[in-house]
């Protein structure tokens, strides 16, 4: 992942509306959702939704396919995992076990599994 791709993703999700859209699409999974239904669900004007969907799509967080006159949008979930890998890749200069002392107590065992899974990537 390149830096510009990462900032574009973060920028995409820095708006409450776009975060709502993305989370809605994550919830619907591979089924995705048609633009009009998203607009109805989130009570957004079509023109405004279109603006935000464009941002999400350009960042790669959503993909769109045409179905007749409808546009179906789906979340790109793997991209989120690439993103966090990009962020934690060089964690503690390659000694991620050092991160542990600075971690919060809550959910530490689950976090350890997560950290281990991440540690297996690109190292």
Contact positions toward DNA, by CB under 7 A?
11, 14-15, 17-18, 34-36, 39, 45-55, 64, 66, 68-71
- Of 56 and 83, nearer to DNA (C-beta) is 56
List contacts with a second copy (CB under 8 A). Answer: 3-4, 6-7, 10-16, 19-20, 22-23, 26-30, 74, 76-78, 80-81, 84, 87-88, 90-93, 95, 98-99, 101-104, 107, 110-111, 113-118, 120-121
| Residue 68 interacts with which of a second copy, DNA, none, CB < 5 to 8 Å by class | DNA
CA–CA dist 114, 101 (Å, integer): 16
- Of 53 and 75, nearer to DNA (C-beta) is 53
In the chain, the N- to C-terminal Cα span, in Å, equals 15
Dihedral in degrees, nearest 10, Cα atoms 52, 54, 58, 64: 120
Over the range 62-80, which residues count as b (16 or more CB within 10 Å of their CB) and which as e? Answer: beeeeeeeebbbbbbeeee
């Amino acid at each position: 992942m390149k830096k510009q791709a990462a900032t574009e993703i973060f920028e995409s999700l820095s708006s409450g509306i776009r975060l709502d859209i993305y989370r809605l699409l994550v919830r619907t999974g591979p089924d995705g959702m048609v633009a009009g239904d998203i607009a109805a669900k989130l009570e957004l004007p079509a023109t405004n939704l279109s603006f935000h969907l464009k941002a999400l799509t350009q960042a790669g967080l959503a993909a769109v396919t045409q179905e007749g006159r409808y546009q179906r949008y789906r979340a790109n979930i793997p991209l989120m995992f690439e993103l966090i890998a990009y962020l934690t890749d060089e964690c503690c200069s390659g000694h991620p076990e050092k991160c542990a002392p600075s971690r919060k107590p809550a959910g530490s065992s689950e976090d350890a599994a997560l950290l281990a899974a991440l540690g297996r990537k690109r190292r």
